Structure formats: C-alpha cells, structure tokens
Copies of this chain bind each other. A is one copy, B any other.
Amino acid sequence: MAHEKTIWPGSTQLAPVPAVLVGCGDGKTFKYNLITVAWAGTVCSDPAMLAISVRPERFSFAPISQLKEFTVNLPPAHLAAELDRCGVISGRDCDKFEVCHLTAVKGEKVAAPVVAECPVSLECRVKNELSLGSHTLFLAEIVAVQVESALIDAKGKFDIDQADLVAYAHGHYYRLGDCIGHFGYSVRRKPGSIVRK
C-alpha cells in the first residue's frame, strides 16, 4: 500500500494537544488572571509533573515566573467559547474571570486561582523555567488535583467522559469522540484464555 508523503519544514504539528485554562496570580501582588494554553503536556509520573509554555510578552508570564505557581483547569466543551476568548483577549485590559463569567477560587495548595466551573483542576508549583525561543517552558510539580465531586462514583471512580473535555488540533477545538479502548487493551487476555504462569 502506497503512502506518498509531502515533506514540509518543521512546524508545530503534534496533535491532538490539550486546550486548558491556566490560572495565575495571587490576588495580591498580581491580580487573578487566566491564559489559554495548548502548549502543555505531562512530563513525569513520579513526581507527577506537567509543563506549560508561555510567551514572555504575555500578561500572565510575570505572575507565573515570579510566584512560581499556577493552576491548569480542564474546561468542558460547553465552555469552549470562554476557553477561546481567554486566548485572544488580554488580562492587561480586563478581568477575564468577569468577562467570561467564570469563578476564581483560591487553590487548596497554591495561591493561584482554580476555575470553579472546570471539572478538573491541577494545582502546580514551578520547579524549572527554560527559555526556548518564542516560548518559555515552565516545568511544574502537580501538588493537588481538584475533581468535581459529581463526577466521582460511590466506588471513588472518576468518570472522565462526563467531564466532556476539549482537544486542540491544527487550530481547531474538538470534543472527544468514541472511546477506542483502555491502555493495554490490545494484549488483554480474553476470558477463558490460558494465563501463562
């Protein structure tokens, strides 16, 4: 089967990536603010760490760099317009929480605000800051996770499908579609098959 390829110069074509609302500021030295970030990813399991990349000229850069704390809030699809708006307007000119009718609540472990309307929020402390070019990378430990209690069943299991999260690919926002399988599903033994001891 032929798979003819076209070769392009290097560009940011990794997809899908997360589309998240990063909360920053402490309400004192820096006002609470939000910035939309798609350049984000998990970087370590133990300790649990993630990374976000922010342009130094963004209004959110100073609070993240100086306070060394931020939150990563995973918005549900019905907040996609607010998610998009927070990536276009600037906290220099307005209060994004007010403009987007979102509620800032101080984190449990960090001074930065979580977005009450987001079903999952990760509270993060910056461990390392690396200037890469257009963006600066913040490597951060995830010190607490807030999950909407209504999405956790009686057995303590979190139903992520109900969170209705948003992915970003090639300049567009997408809802998650069909679940294909869980990690390890391709090699899972079928019921009744012989398990090698």
> In the docked arrangement, what's the CA distance between A16 and B180, Å?
14
B51 pairs with A135, CB closer than 8 A: no
B43 pairs with A53, CB closer than 8 A: yes
Asked whether A42 and B12 contact (CB < 8 A) given A82-B186, A169-B176, the answer is yes
Within 8 A of B (CB), among A18-75: 18, 20, 38-51, 53, 72, 74
* A132 at the binding interface (Cβ < 8 Å): yes
Query: A122 to chain B: which residues have CB within 8 Å?
Result: 10, 13-14
Name A186's contact: one of B15, B48, B81, B108 (CB within 8 Å): B81
Residue ID in chain B nearest A13 by CB atoms = B145
Query: A144 to chain B: which residues have CB within 8 Å?
Result: 7-10
Copies per assembly: 2
Asked whether A178 and B177 contact (CB < 8 A) given A17-B18, A74-B15, A145-B8, the answer is yes
* A172 at the binding interface (Cβ < 8 Å): yes
* A173 at the binding interface (Cβ < 8 Å): yes
> In the docked arrangement, what's the CA distance between A172 and B184, Å?
9
Within 8 A of B (CB), among A126-153: 128, 130, 132-135, 137, 139, 141-150, 152
Q: Which 7 A-B pairs have the closest CB atoms?
A: A41-B41, A177-B177, A10-B142, A84-B186, A46-B134, A44-B132, A160-B170
| Residues of A in contact with B (beta carbons under 8 Å apart) | 1, 3-18, 20, 38-51, 53, 72, 74, 77, 80-82, 84-85, 87-89, 103, 108, 114, 116-117, 120-123, 128, 130, 132-135, 137, 139, 141-150, 152, 158, 160, 165-187
